[in-house]
Structure 1
């Protein structure tokens, strides 16, 4: 059974968001936190969102993926994921600039973004 993504404590998220520059541990915390929020907003298994080297999550209702390369993949780096999740960077702009690579059906995650309100952690 896959490990369930969990939100981080709001004070930890706020602290990591305020950090400049962010440490590896802060990037990991924010990446996993915002993937957990996405799994709550878009539960499902048809799209795999990858943020190497920190985490990956399956989201969005549809055909379940169980083996091999999933038919729908979104991949980005942690800094871009955090920027999109907080609304600092629009989903469409991240795609257009190549900072997010998305292939397959249901990979438009813009209806779920941003994952925080004004850069604050959702509670």
Structure 2
């Protein structure tokens, strides 16, 4: 099943753009400038307050972008509660449990920070915000998406 319906792609694109715009505005206004550690901590805890529907569309659209960028069946990326996709070449799902050997799970705010380039994979991983199992547990070369 697709992570976003084709008729919702424009809504998803708009939601992703709105999320990114809100993030940039908040970061420009509130990001601590002189203290690098404080700025990093701010970015890692950053999560704009936007309507749930917009969040859902933004996440689904960004997962769609990742799926197009790295097609395959070897790694499952889960951003609960709004979507899961399979990407990258590699061993496909076990026919008994339908889960590939590599699984990455992220919260929506973590995913959106990564997708938009607010934080890096290493920053989020070091902060313990990414759960990843398997050999291909690093998406840093695919991010940010926009």
**TM bucket, shorter chain:** 0.7 to 0.9
Distance apart, 1:59 and its partner CA:
0.5
Distance apart, 1:64 and its partner CA:
1.1
Q: Conserved in 2, the CA contact under 8 Å of 1:95 and 1:102?
A: no
For residues 28-107 of structure 1, the aligned pairs below 5 Å read: 28-67=56-95, 68=97, 69-107=99-137
Give runs of ≥4 in structure 1 deviating > 4 Å: 4-7
Q: TM-score, normalised by structure 1?
A: 0.83
Q: Conserved in 1, the CA contact under 8 Å of 2:3 and 2:60?
A: no
- Higher fraction of helix: 2
Unaligned runs of 5+ in 2: 23-47
The CA RMSD measured in Å over matched residues stands at 1.8
Greater gyration radius: 2
Aligned with residue 14 of structure 2, among 11, 16, 19: 11
The structure whose RCO (Cα within 8 Å, separation 6+) is larger is 1
Unaligned runs of 5+ in 1: 117-123
Say if 2:144 is the partner of 1:114. yes
Q: TM-score, normalised by structure 2?
A: 0.71
